[in-house]
Structure 1
């Protein structure tokens, strides 16, 4: 069997700028993608179940608490396809549709990070709105929204109109996961939760305690579904896992986001920007 090509660290031009591919000196097959100094993705090519970023671990907690078996998943925001690799390793037979507008980035991941090794994965070079409009009803068990332009989430992917599309695409027992970044006060995250709540009756929010308390800028994971979420197992997993986090749902979440207005197409929304020294 031919040996797979070793990735080459360095800077690479992509469609929307330049990315840097960095080797992890602590893990022989660990690689990180950054853009403009902002970490975008991390993969271990020999162990797809290894997760480096804390927020990706929170996504994995939710996925691990879903009913057993393969998943049909849509991923808006490709990066190095960390979560598709993880799901395929943990749930053989899963199918993935990855939506990524940066064709150059997709080609880089194919060339350098062995994307072809991920089974049953297709990539569409589209933005999240266009891709969703083209998907049929009840297409997916899981919809992962992890799309960022630099360090900010595109507002057009956080509106009531887009969430209605996602609800249409998900099956009756499907799950939506959203990665949101925010800082003190969580004003943007609260509006995203209020938006999601209009489309889904069951919603939970996960984050590390310091992020919830507004002590530092960080990532929060919104989980939503037409049916009840596995809040009990998820709360226990988040509290006792390698990345410890709080899970807020029900009346506690209602109180947390009280007064936050849903985001609609055309609204002027200031997306939070991380402090300049966050990734130093």
Structure 2
């Protein structure tokens, strides 16, 4: 859920897609009753994982950024849940869009919840989708539900439990898309970045299902290379999406990994990434093999958390 760099990415769905209504007849673009308004100003409150802050977005009158201990986690626009404001969320939005034909309901397991931005996106763009979210910080979930409430009719169930524990209990072959976006503070926890964890995700996927992961890394990209090798040890099809500057180790940032048992939509994903308002590159096949050369998959016995962001990266 940690977001690095610019955060004015815009929509991930196409402008030609209508904004659907939920099952109650309320348009998802309408502000939810009881939602926090900018007139109320910022909010800071301790939660289980640290200090949560909600900061109003100066460009969008019903949008809020969630920070945890100063690290940006999520951006939610209550007037437009299809708006994805962070780079990494937009790239995950592309994968959501490509998970099935436009508008078709899917079953999604979100490991890591934050402000539920991606769950809102799925609900807005794919009505009647069934979604489960694992978010260990129950106080954060209570804060988000109170201040940034979900629309009526959205089938989103949030479980206050460790993501791996939820994944272990997920029935085999029942999920179209697993999205792993797990951070303890500003780092990916070791127990959610292993081959054993990835195998559990693969087991949960229905035929044709896909797995997507958000991580952060920089400099030599040792963690990212190991994570790519970890997914390649479990899935025959893997790709990586990131800013070229991050891939060259020039800056610390987000990297998105996607995996499946069947071929990924690399060409269409590449077109969508190329059309974004910021630089992005898709690595697949030989390019990804070169990226992971010499890297060893992480296991429960050997895994370490992702590196902490450099000082001042969120300023």
TM-score past 0.5 threshold: yes
Contact 1:61 1:237 in 2 (8 A): yes
Q: Are 1:182 and 2:217 an aligned pair?
A: yes
Q: CA deviation at 1:267?
A: 1.1
More displaced, 51-60 or 1-10? 1-10
Contact 1:66 1:230 in 2 (8 A): no
Contact 1:21 1:34 in 2 (8 A): yes
**Cα distance in 1 between the residues matched to 2:99 and 2:151:** 26
Q: Are 1:102 and 2:99 an aligned pair?
A: no
Q: Are 1:21 and 2:54 an aligned pair?
A: yes
Q: C-alpha deviations, 1:60-119, integer Å up to 9, x for none?
A: 122222321111000000001111111111111211100000010010011000135460
Q: CA deviation at 1:231?
A: 0.3
Contact 1:88 1:118 in 2 (8 A): no
Q: CA deviation at 1:27?
A: 0.7
**Cα distance in 1 between the residues matched to 2:305 and 2:113:** 24
Structure 1 residue runs of 4+, over 2 Å off?
Answer: 115-118, 268-271
**Cα distance in 1 between the residues matched to 2:216 and 2:153:** 28
Contact 1:110 1:116 in 2 (8 A): no
The one of 45, 59, 63 equivalent to 2:78 is 45
Over 3 Å counting, the alpha-carbon distance change for 1:273 and 1:82 in structure 2 is same
**Cα distance in 1 between the residues matched to 2:147 and 2:305:** 35
Query: Hey, what does 1:213 align to over in structure 2?
Result: 248
Secondary structure of 2:298's partner?
Answer: coil
Query: Hey, what does 1:193 align to over in structure 2?
Result: 228
Q: Are 1:32 and 2:86 an aligned pair?
A: no
**Cα distance in 1 between the residues matched to 2:145 and 2:43:** 16
Contact 2:52 2:67 in 1 (8 A): yes
Q: CA deviation at 1:25?
A: 1.7
**Cα distance in 2 between the residues matched to 1:223 and 1:45:** 28
**Structure 2: gaps of 5 or more residues:** 1-25
Query: Hey, what does 1:114 align to over in structure 2?
Result: 149
Aligned length: 280
Q: Are 1:5 and 2:34 an aligned pair?
A: yes
Query: Hey, what does 1:167 align to over in structure 2?
Result: 202
**Cα distance in 1 between the residues matched to 2:100 and 2:34:** 36
Query: Hey, what does 1:128 align to over in structure 2?
Result: 163
Q: CA deviation at 1:275?
A: 1.1
TM-score, normalising length: structure 2? 0.86
Over the aligned positions, Cα root-mean-square deviation in angstroms equals 1.6
Over 3 Å counting, the alpha-carbon distance change for 1:84 and 1:245 in structure 2 is same
**Cα distance in 2 between the residues matched to 1:118 and 1:221:** 30
Contact 1:85 1:118 in 2 (8 A): no
Contact 2:134 2:161 in 1 (8 A): yes
**Cα distance in 1 between the residues matched to 2:84 and 2:153:** 16
